Amino acid sequence: MKSIVTLFAIALVIAFSATTSFSKDTLFQYLIKFKNHPDASKNKLELVDFGLKLKEHIGPNKQIYVYTAPLELSQQALSSLNTRNGIDWIEPYYQIQIPIPVESTQKKSPALSLSEPYHHQILETKKAHKALKDGKEIIVAVLDTGIESTHPNLKNHMWTNSGEIAGNGIDDDKNGFIDDVHGYDFYNNQSSAEDDNGHGTHCAGLIGAYPTDARDVFGVMPKVKLMSLKIFNQYGQGKLSTAIKAVLYAVRNGAVILNNSYGSPNPNKSLRLAFKAAEKLGVIAVSAAGNHKNNNDTRGEFPANFDLPNIISVGSTDAKDTHSSFSNFGALSVDLSAPRDQILSTHLHGKLKSLSGTSMSTPLVAGVLGLVWSKDPSQTYREVIQKVLNGSDKLDLLFGKNYNLARVNAYNSVKEKKIKNLYPLPEKKWKEESLDIQSDHPYLNNSRASYIVEKSGAKYIKLNFDKIHMESGYDFLEIINSKGVIVHKLNGPFKDDLSLIIPGDKLTLQIDSDSSQTEYGFKISNFSWGK
């Protein structure tokens, strides 16, 4: 496993891009984590000199401080504060705004046959339901625009806080939230987490809608409790603090899977801390890889790209079971893919709509994980994830698009089948040879140095890196296959045991550096090949 806020629902031919914007109530807010250091108290007092005023505590154990300022801090001021002995980090508190999801212009979803929606055919959902038989109820939290709790296809699957008496204005269960019956609206800080956008209701339906007649929509999970955690307003604007609060609320109230159909290019440390707390409690966070055609190996999308074992990054496939042209990808950073095209699901006012995007792919994966977990709730989150990865269909057209060349399959996952991997080859078919290829340490500015690896007769070459570190965001190590195509573009530091498989008998490693800072570069002392 490799491993706020943008919703990922798009029309079939439109790819949305996130636009950072600010509103008056979030314009100059900062998230600060203090160290357990003698200078911390002094540093807190120093913040006054910068015009910062404490607003609230959030995060695990309330260790994240939200400060406000009448004026925006300069980059120099931020850098200065980040060097204080008592400050772990200070980071801007952004508000992200995205376009409203677009309804598909086509009346019907693509179909392999007329018997059932194409995504259920690909996932073999009905077969999975029959194989599961008596699954246990699993709580899945949907961090989104809320859920329409009265929707005919959802109302009986809504999570209900048994310790709370609805409408009495009292925090009956003493969890810090009043009348949080089906979840909570963290954006508006109120009990009702009803959807006023439609995106969250659509995602919830993909996870756990139940049919009201034989021809109606249904979700991946026949037994589920959907927790509604509203972190966006009706326009798709979300506050970073709402996402952090929602993650912690979910895990404290029994959710074992978090659906995150949103993202940001900002690798926020405070949000990562919340997901780390979820990991310690054994909770899976399923996250959209994004809809910007980006390579997440070089330009991350968060929370999908957080380096946490409980985070599953989801790309998307189209109706032809190939990688979606708009979907973000990553040979190292995206775990698996799921269908996304014109998927019919629940929407506002008791109605249905077809939408496309990794927003749709993500809840499908969340549903499959929930199916596997409901079979045996005593399983660890790692066991559940591995069974879903093992049971996913392996598609060679996903090479370079996700780490496992995998498109999720509900039936195989429930049956605990282990689908044969296309890559790598079985261990016994690999032959290892010594190889001494390395860059200068550090590599040079404005470098275009190339290194060739060739093995006659090889079907695949596997590079085993001793070490690799390129300047993040600016310098790249490109890996070019025998056809002259760049199949990997590595940027930043990686684990020292990184291995990459490239089809063919020849490849080229090429450094592409700019005119400023350089890092270690790379070193390879051996490679493997198979045929």
**Catalytic annotation, residues:** 144, 199, 359
* C-alpha to C-alpha distance for 516 and 514, rounded to whole angstroms: 6
* C-alpha to C-alpha distance for 259 and 328, rounded to whole angstroms: 18
* C-alpha to C-alpha distance for 231 and 240, rounded to whole angstroms: 9
Q: Tell me if residue 91 falls in helix, strand or coil.
A: strand
How far is CA 433 from each of CA 130, 240, 461, 525, rounded to the nearest angstrom? 49, 49, 11, 9
* C-alpha to C-alpha distance for 312 and 258, rounded to whole angstroms: 10
How far is CA 518 from each of CA 140, 442, 448, rounded to the nearest angstrom? 44, 6, 13
Give, in degrees to the nearest 5, the angle at Cα 342 between 340 and 348: 105
Write the DSSP assignment of 457-521 as a string of letters. T-SEEEEEEEEEE--TTT-EEEEE-TTS-EEEEE-SB--TT-EEEEESSEEEEEEE--SS----E
How far is CA 495 from each of CA 49, 57, 97, 309, 467, rounded to the nearest angstrom? 41, 34, 34, 14, 7
Which residue in 234, 347, 357, 335 sits closest to 285, CA to CA? 335
Is residue 291 within 8 Å of residue 263, measured between CB atoms?
no
Angle between helices 199-208 and 358-375 (to 10 degrees): 30
